[in-house]
Structures are given as structure tokens and as C-alpha cells.
A and B are shown apart, each in its own frame.
Chain A
């Protein structure tokens, strides 16, 4: 076996430029696989990081999976969750550490002569802890504030900067939201951009009661935010929530839910679906390039077999069996493609960081993709080297010896 390897190595060295050009197709294909997959994994890691920045073990309950007259509305379209649902969840669901309604409304906010349009989020007092969001100054609003729908709020770092300028503590300042005065009780730490790429710090948080009564006027809710105690509890909490809400909404057996409970995992899956499409697309083009590279190898191997017909004749005459010749040429083809694969992997390692540096695209080279690329290149060698090798092995010794 070693002898076969040595012969193949020598044959490739004899035509070093040709060998390299033949490998080029594989090099391009394999490096495209490495870079493409690294983009997919990099983007996924980024999404996971952002999703995790929202907090641990989270579930979202959304309203409005409701079809009316055969028309199915999107989730959150029909605000059919109630405060009573919220109270029931608080009391009856076990294995949760926090639960909060999410009342979203957009509003014009003014302080002094500055004003800005900002997202206002009405939540419970447990919300901050669940999202592991800290205050840079001041305190969270209290349960009493929630009960009394007090006009208090927490301000995001970006909003604070817009309204008060940098390095000014906004705590205890009064701002007008849609004309109503609210006292800032706490200032939120900067959190950076979220999973949608939006600025999570351009926000105002307040008791959900305050948001409903004083801003939106809503009496119903579009979504709840629930935190399970441990990752193991998530599935159970999801089931409990579904059961409870079906019961409360009087949905009979066999009917569709009029709400949706989505886990954080499902949210990340949703975003990663896009990445997967991108990965598949790049993989597809890399695959085409690999096939082209494989055809290049087949082409050169056919040329090589023809050029070396006489050599094959000599080998057959001195007693080489067909399979010895087959193995020799197959080894050569596999060596070509595997060397190309190794060079392609090296090129990928070199290109991926460049992509991150210049295109600011997150990349992450996984061992799996390297192993995959290596295996694929070996398989290409076998597949595309087999036909030329078979052609060599089937030569008639007499004809081969006479070949000029």
C-alpha cells in the first residue's frame, strides 16, 4: 500500500503545475464550503447570543391565533388575552420564576425642549429580573406602583441620552409621554442591539397597568412574557400554559388554540431558518464548484491514463492484475482531490477571518465542517477517479505495450 502511495506521489510530482491546476477546482470548492458553513455557524452563534441576551429560559404567550370565517389571523393580531389570564398564570403555573404582560405602544416623549418617539413597554415588576437587566441608577418600580397604576417609568440608555444628553442622571426627572407626566424612578443599563438588530436601549418601561390605563387605553393584552425556573422546566411550563389558557378560553377538544406559546428555542429556530437558507445556498454553489473540480480531476486522469498507456502495458506484462492498476490510478486521483481538499481547508481558514474583518460578517469554522470537507474531497477523488482508473485497468496488455 505504501508503495502504491509512493508511486502516485511521484506521478503527481512529475507534473507539478498540472497537478496544482487540477487541484484548483477542489481548492475553490472546499474553501467555499468552509467559508460558507462558517458564515452559517457564525450567524447562528450571533443569533443565539442575542436571543440569550434577552434572558434565560423564556417563553412568550401571544394572542390571536384565531380564524374568523375561515380567515386565519396572525399571532398577536387579536388581543384576546386578559388580565384575568395573567393572574391565573401567576397563581396556577408551577415552575416559573417570573411572569409579565407586555403592553407595547409607541409614543412621543418630551423632556424640557427635547422630544423623541419611543417604544413604551408596560410590564410587571418581575420583568427586569427575568431579562437580567440591571439599573445603572435609581430603583425598579414596585408592586404598589403596578397596583395603583402610578405614573412612574424606567428609561433606556439611548432614550435618556436623547432627552437629557450624556452623563446626566435622569432619575427623578419628569417626562411627558403622550402628554401625561411620568416620573423616572430608574435608569436602565445599556443592553446593545437585540435579535432583530433594533436598539434595545431606546425604550421606556413602566407598570403595565399604567401603560394600559394612561397611554393605550387597552383592556386586553397581546402577549405575556414567562420565565421558567430551569431549562428542564420549559417544556412542562409550555404544556401547563397551553392547558390553562385552553381551559380559560373554553376551547373544546380538537379546536385550534386562539393563542400561541413560543419558547426561546423556537424563536431562535425561527431566525436561524434564514441562516439555514443562506448556508444551503452557499453549500449549493460550493457543491457545483466541487463537481466541476471533480470533472477536472477525471479529465486529467483520463489524459494521464492515455499518456501512460505504455507504462500500464509494462506493468500488466510483468504481472500486475487489473485491480493493481485500478488502485494505482485511483490512489492518484484521491491524492489529488485530498491534497486539494487540505489546501482548500487551509484557504478557508485564511479567508473566513478576512470576511469577518472586512465585511463584518460573523464566521465560525467548526471541526465538523472541516471533517466534512475532508471526507467530501476524498469521495470526489474516488467517484471521479474511478472511471479513468477502470479504463486503465481494462487495457489489453498487448495493445498497451504497442501503444506509441
Chain B
């Protein structure tokens, strides 16, 4: 087995809010191998957002070790963290977080603006177009987010996350703002990308969404309560077919 993408060893995170110390995560040891598709679940306050920020290299552990692709993140400075996010991590957020009044294509080009060494404009455009095609939005490249549906916006966000060919795709409640059918479509895209070998980690609190993943980590009060593979894994393609059949039946009835 190759080296894990993510390796947490007794990871702890403590915030001070006012004079109160909040122990958001209190000792998590976890390894995620390349090619995995992991859902991190838990109620609010369980520490899953903190996990997410740390796995995304937006934040550093208070104590314990966090190795990302073999690199000790705790020892990196702000700029090195930024470079790591740029090259190795793709983010997908619940609120999409696209730049408004900026076309889909330019949103996808955004991470490439910060590549070092820089990428030529024409190459950026090519890569962004390819990424958009991958999520099925080649014909919406010049649309701004306000001209796109929620599902389409989330696809643009996924294309943006993919464009630098990251080691890890990190999704924070990616279906939180979407209806159930669109949610399944988005999960379908994740499954498809995972099948191509991309490591996906997502945070969700929806049980049925987690069943599209391969492994579910449940957190409560800053600790991992269970960590097991998904039985009866759902496939988005099949679910969509079932949904279509049901709709047809309703219409016939």
C-alpha cells in the first residue's frame, strides 16, 4: 500500500473564545489512503468542521501531528500552506463560494492564477475548459453564477477544485444547499471522479448522502466514535434511474 494522503496522529485542536477554552477536537488518529472516498459525519459541535479546516490545510493542529502526503503540516508557514492548498487540495463548499459577476470559466481559472511557476493564459483557458467539460458544463463557460442553477454552480465549484489536479478533493456539505435529485447528481460526479482514482473526503450530516461514499467516519464531541466501510453502497446512476422510473409511474398514475 502506498503512503496515506492524510495521516492524523492524536490530532487536537483547541480554540480560545473569550476566556473559555473550547476543545473542538480532542485526539483523533486517522489515516486516509489514496483512492478512498470518505464521509465525515457528526452533529454540529462534533468537531467535523475543525477536521475539515485542518484537512484542508486552512488551519494547523494545536497538538498532535498531521501529515499531508508525507509533509508535516504543523511545520509549514502561511505561504507554504497556501502553496500546499493550491497544488494538492481542491475545495468544494456548501455555499459554492464562486466569485459573483465572474464567468464560470474565470472561476475555474482562479486557482491557476496563484500557481508557482505561473501558467500561461492560453493554457489556463484550455485546462479550465477541460475541467468544465468533465463536470458537463462545457456549454455554460461564459455564464456567471447568477445565471446558473444551484447544481450547476456546484459543478463549477467542483471543476475549480479539480483544475490543478489535486491529491485530495475536499467537500464541505457539498449537497447542503441542493434538492435531493441534484444532490444525487453531484454525488454521481464525486463517484465518477473517485472511480478515476481521485481521493475524496466530504463532510456531511445527511445519512443517505454518506451511503454514496466507501467509508464513513462518525464524530461526536471531538472524538471519532465509529469508522467503518459503507455496507450497501448506493450508486448515483442507479438511484437516478430509480427516481426517473418513480416519476414516470407518478405521471402515468
A contact set with B: CB distance below 8 Å: 3, 14, 310-311, 313-324, 397-398, 401
The answer for the CA separation of A321 and B116 in the assembled complex, in Å, is 11
Cβ A319 vs Cβ B87 within 8 A? yes
Cβ A314 vs Cβ B79 within 8 A? no
Given contacts A398-B53, A398-B58, A311 and B99 within 8 Å (CB-CB): yes
A318 CB contact (under 8 Å) in B59, B78, B79, B86: B86
Cβ A321 vs Cβ B99 within 8 A? no
Q: In the complex, how many angstroms separate the beta carbon of A336 from the nearest chain B beta carbon? A: 19
Cβ A314 vs Cβ B110 within 8 A? yes
The answer for the CA separation of A193 and B178 in the assembled complex, in Å, is 86
What residues of A have a CB within 8 angstroms of the CB of B86 in the complex?
318-320
The answer for the CA separation of A280 and B246 in the assembled complex, in Å, is 84
B18 within 8 A of A: no
Cβ B83 vs Cβ A321 within 8 A? yes
Q: In the complex, how many angstroms separate the beta carbon of B77 from the nearest chain A beta carbon? A: 10
A397 CB contact (under 8 Å) in B58, B79, B87: B58
Scoring B residues 69 to 97 as 1 if CB is less than 8 Å from chain A, else 0, what string do you get?
Answer: 00000000011001101110001010001
* B82 closest partner in A (C-beta): A321
Cβ B53 vs Cβ A321 within 8 A? no
What residues of B have a CB within 8 angstroms of the CB of A3 in the complex?
113, 121
Cβ B58 vs Cβ A322 within 8 A? no
What residues of A have a CB within 8 angstroms of the CB of B113 in the complex?
3, 320, 324
Given contacts A314-B99, A314-B110, A321 and B91 within 8 Å (CB-CB): no
The answer for the CA separation of A322 and B83 in the assembled complex, in Å, is 11
Could you write out 10 A-B pairs with CB less than 8 Å apart? A310-B97, A311-B99, A314-B97, A314-B110, A320-B82, A320-B113, A321-B83, A324-B113, A397-B58, A398-B59
The answer for the CA separation of A320 and B85 in the assembled complex, in Å, is 9
Given contacts A3-B113, A401-B97, A318 and B58 within 8 Å (CB-CB): no
Scoring B residues 45 to 60 as 1 if CB is less than 8 Å from chain A, else 0, what string do you get?
Answer: 0000000010010110
Question: Considering the complex of A and B, which 9 residue pairs feature the smallest CB-CB distances, nearest first?
Answer: A319-B86, A318-B111, A319-B114, A321-B82, A320-B114, A319-B85, A321-B79, A397-B58, A314-B97
* A311 closest partner in B (C-beta): B99
Q: In the complex, how many angstroms separate the beta carbon of A374 from the nearest chain B beta carbon? A: 29
Cβ A324 vs Cβ B99 within 8 A? no
What residues of B have a CB within 8 angstroms of the CB of A398 in the complex?
53, 58-59
For the A-B complex with A14-B101, A318-B111, A318-B114 known, give 13 more contacts whose Cβ atoms are closer than 8 Å.
Answer: A310-B97, A311-B99, A314-B98, A316-B82, A319-B83, A319-B86, A319-B87, A319-B111, A319-B115, A320-B82, A322-B78, A397-B58, A401-B58
Cβ A317 vs Cβ B114 within 8 A? no
What residues of A have a CB within 8 angstroms of the CB of B101 in the complex?
14
Q: In the complex, how many angstroms separate the beta carbon of B167 from the nearest chain A beta carbon? A: 13
Q: In the complex, how many angstroms separate the beta carbon of B170 from the nearest chain A beta carbon? A: 10
* B115 closest partner in A (C-beta): A319
Scoring B residues 143 to 186 as 1 if CB is less than 8 Å from chain A, else 0, what string do you get?
Answer: 00000000000000000100010000000000000000000000
Contact residues of A: prevailing secondary structure:
helix
What residues of B have a CB within 8 angstroms of the CB of A14 in the complex?
101
What residues of B have a CB within 8 angstroms of the CB of A322 in the complex?
78-79, 82
Q: In the complex, how many angstroms separate the beta carbon of A112 from the nearest chain B beta carbon? A: 88
What residues of B have a CB within 8 angstroms of the CB of A319 in the complex?
82-83, 85-87, 111, 114-115, 164
B101-148 with Cβ < 8 A to chain A? 101, 110-111, 113-115, 121
* A3 closest partner in B (C-beta): B113
Cβ B79 vs Cβ A317 within 8 A? no
The answer for the CA separation of A104 and B86 in the assembled complex, in Å, is 87
Cβ A317 vs Cβ B91 within 8 A? yes
What residues of A have a CB within 8 angstroms of the CB of B83 in the complex?
319, 321
What residues of B have a CB within 8 angstroms of the CB of A310 in the complex?
97
What residues of A have a CB within 8 angstroms of the CB of B82 in the complex?
316, 319-322
The answer for the CA separation of A320 and B99 in the assembled complex, in Å, is 14
* B109 closest partner in A (C-beta): A3
* B97 closest partner in A (C-beta): A314
What residues of B have a CB within 8 angstroms of the CB of A323 in the complex?
79
Q: In the complex, how many angstroms separate the beta carbon of A106 from the nearest chain B beta carbon? A: 79
Given contacts A318-B91, A319-B83, A324 and B114 within 8 Å (CB-CB): yes
* B50 closest partner in A (C-beta): A398
Q: In the complex, how many angstroms separate the beta carbon of B53 from the nearest chain A beta carbon? A: 5
Q: In the complex, how many angstroms separate the beta carbon of A11 from the nearest chain B beta carbon? A: 10
B58 CB contact (under 8 Å) in A315, A317, A321: A317
What residues of A have a CB within 8 angstroms of the CB of B160 in the complex?
318
The answer for the CA separation of A313 and B56 in the assembled complex, in Å, is 13
The answer for the CA separation of A323 and B78 in the assembled complex, in Å, is 11
The answer for the CA separation of A322 and B91 in the assembled complex, in Å, is 19
Cβ A318 vs Cβ B121 within 8 A? no
What residues of B have a CB within 8 angstroms of the CB of A320 in the complex?
82, 86, 113-114
A3, A311, A317, A318: most-surrounded residue (chain B CB, <10 A) = A318
Q: In the complex, how many angstroms separate the beta carbon of A309 from the nearest chain B beta carbon? A: 12
The answer for the CA separation of A313 and B110 in the assembled complex, in Å, is 13
The answer for the CA separation of A322 and B99 in the assembled complex, in Å, is 18
Q: In the complex, how many angstroms separate the beta carbon of B81 from the nearest chain A beta carbon? A: 9
What residues of A have a CB within 8 angstroms of the CB of B87 in the complex?
319
The answer for the CA separation of A318 and B98 in the assembled complex, in Å, is 11
A310, A311, A321: most-surrounded residue (chain B CB, <10 A) = A321
The answer for the CA separation of A319 and B83 in the assembled complex, in Å, is 6
Cβ B79 vs Cβ A315 within 8 A? no
Cβ B110 vs Cβ A315 within 8 A? yes
Given contacts A14-B101, A324-B114, A398-B59, A318 and B85 within 8 Å (CB-CB): yes
What residues of A have a CB within 8 angstroms of the CB of B56 in the complex?
317
Cβ B85 vs Cβ A317 within 8 A? yes
